[in-house]
Structure 1
Amino acid sequence: MSVIESLIPRQGLKVLVTAGANGIGLAIAQAFKEAGALVHVCDVDEAALMSLPKGITYTLGDVSNAKDIDRLFEDVKQLGGLDVVVNNAGIAGPTASVEEISEEEWTHTIDINLNGQYRIAHHSAVLLRESQGLMINLASVAGRLGFAYRTPYAASKWAVVGLTKSLACELGPDGVRVNAILPGIVRGPRIEKVIEDRAAKRGITYEAMEQENLAKISMRKMVEPTDIAAMALFLSAPGGSNISGQALSVCANVETL
């Protein structure tokens, strides 16, 4: 196999992407489909699921609901196994000081961002052992940096990195690789809402908040959802076969948050 060939995932990979109907998840699902994979996604957005490209199967479900996860994995059986699991579901959580964040807000953020990844890992581990497959957990640069006024989000993403490294140790002897991708500021509606909320908290304009964020990035730019998808494809290709237990930032080098 040539080096160039090693950068291309093999045809027919069986792939599950959580929160795969919008944003980063959709970019990942589309990229795998274009690479010849069989792709199944879950999402809470029914309208977005109905608009998925032809050939991507789906389940309406919430990763914070154990019954929805049970139903998801019943649907996944139609793939005949799993080679790649992309644990992408997550929410931004509240933007507030710690004394203002309610226990309900804290728990809800952790339940989706961390417990949701546990639930998917819990159900998919046996399938990935059978295929000697790959799990990709979406964390964030907030999983390696402190993030004022976003403590539930940052805490959950640091925990995802710990989950990733621990699962890599646990599943590695069976040939399963586990990695985390840490996106930076990803262009799209979600970051626009985060910037808006943070600007309001700081009492400054949206434009000033956006420029302040960009000033903290070495390359002074946001990344695209397709940049995250490209990393997921590389990890799934033969060239990524010895990469495991890693927290891989795709962020144009975010220096601080």
Structure 2
Amino acid sequence: MSGRRVLITAGASGIGLGLAKRFAAEGDQLAICDADGDAIAQVKAGHPDFIAHHADVTDEAQMDAFLAQVEDVWGGVDVVCANAGIGGPAGRIEDLDYGAWRDCVGVNLFGAFLTCRWAARVMRAQKSGLIILTSSTAGLFGYPLRSPYAAAKWGIVGLTKTLAMELGGANVRVNCICPGAVEGDRMERVLANESAATGTPIEDLRAAYVDCTSLKSWVSVDDLADMALFLASPAASKVSGQILAVDGHTESIN
């Protein structure tokens, strides 16, 4: 086996799959999990060399089984991308359902905890490694009508800073990528939810997401992969505890 050992949660679609393909193109070994069993099956068919496991990041037993498999096969890990997340409900806080709030925070934040708890133990023992967490520009600003998502993504920022402090002495780096509006199916679902909550046409919301950035553009999965690959490269050997926005520079919240 050659190349880095890279683990990515929610790696069967969207940002996670984009990251996996780019790391694989660099010659790295990949292990992914995803709550979507059909998506995992498709990845297995197209990438039989991947470790691909059907697991919900909020289910401790499922994650333990996935992570134990990775540790058994690889004996360690070099890069862990705690990437799993969901958009959650849209609406005023007084109108939100507790279960929907809990589920949003659970996937975005508690899933990161289960992933990072394992990564910290393994990387501390081997005295090397990189953890990349996926937050959002919602983790840098307030986000009206998306309170559970913003709360969870701010939590990811705090987790990043804390783990960088806890693990730095073991030569383990921890950083956080904050995407802006990323092209793809997930953002289309976000737009639909926000449109339903506000009555604003989807096309108006789409334009607003572009207008609130300095570069007046959406972000691509490749933009995020470029940042992840940089963080995993020797050029970033002293980059840790950083919250790195890849968003075209958000000037205001739409």
TM-score (norm 2): 0.95
Matched residue, 1:192: 188
Amino acid at match of 2:67: F
Q: Does 1:92 align with 2:87?
A: yes
Instruction: Count matched residues.
Output: 247
Once the two structures are superposed, residues 6-44 of structure 1 have per-residue CA deviations (whole angstroms, 9 ceiling, x without a partner) of: xxxxx6100100000000000001111111111000001
| Structure 2, gaps ≥5 residues long | none
Residue aligned with 2:95, SS: coil
Asked if 1:61 corresponds to 2:55, the answer is yes
**Separation (CA, whole Å) in 1 of partners of 2:246 and 2:52:** 27
Deviation at 1:80, TM superposition (A): 2.3
**CA contact 2:129–2:172 (8 Å) conserved in 1:** yes
Match of 1:105 in 2: 100
Using the alignment, how far apart are the partners of 2:127 and 2:6 within structure 1? 12
Aligned with residue 134 of structure 1, among 102, 108, 130? 130
**Which amino acid in 2 is paired with 1:162?**
G
**Aligned pairs for 1:2-17 within 5 A:** 12-17=3-8
In the other structure, the counterpart of 2:28 is 37
Provide the identity percentage.
39
More deviation in 190-199 or 135-144?
Answer: 190-199
8 Å CA contact 1:84–1:128 kept in 2: the answer is: no
Contact residue 38 and residue 79 of structure 1 kept, 8 A: no
Quick one: higher RCO (CA 8 Å, sep 6+), 1 or 2?
A: 1
State how far apart, in whole Å, the 2-side matches of 1:45 and 1:156 are. 21
Runs of 4+ displaced beyond 6 Å: none
Q: CA deviation at 1:167?
A: 0.3
Decide which of 204, 209, 213 is 2:205's aligned counterpart.
Answer: 209
Q: Distance in 2 between matches of 1:195 and 1:176?
A: 37
Which residue of 1 is the match for residue 225 of structure 2? 229
d(CA) in 1 for partners of 2:161 and 2:200?
38
TM-score by length of 1: 0.94
* Aligned equivalent of 2:70: 76
Q: Secondary structure at the match of 1:127?
A: helix
1:256 Cα offset (Å): 2.1
Q: Secondary structure at the match of 2:89?
A: coil
Q: Is the 8 A contact 1:89 1:116 kept in 2?
A: yes
- Select the residue among 147, 168, 173 that pairs with 2:169: 173
Q: Distance in 2 between matches of 1:50 and 1:105?
A: 27
The answer to whether the aligner puts 1:248 opposite 2:244 as a matched pair is: yes
Q: Where does the alignment leave 5 or more consecutive residues of structure 1 unmatched?
A: 1-10
C-alpha contact (below 8 Å) 1:183/1:251 kept by paired residues:
yes
Q: Which amino acid aligns with 1:60?
A: H
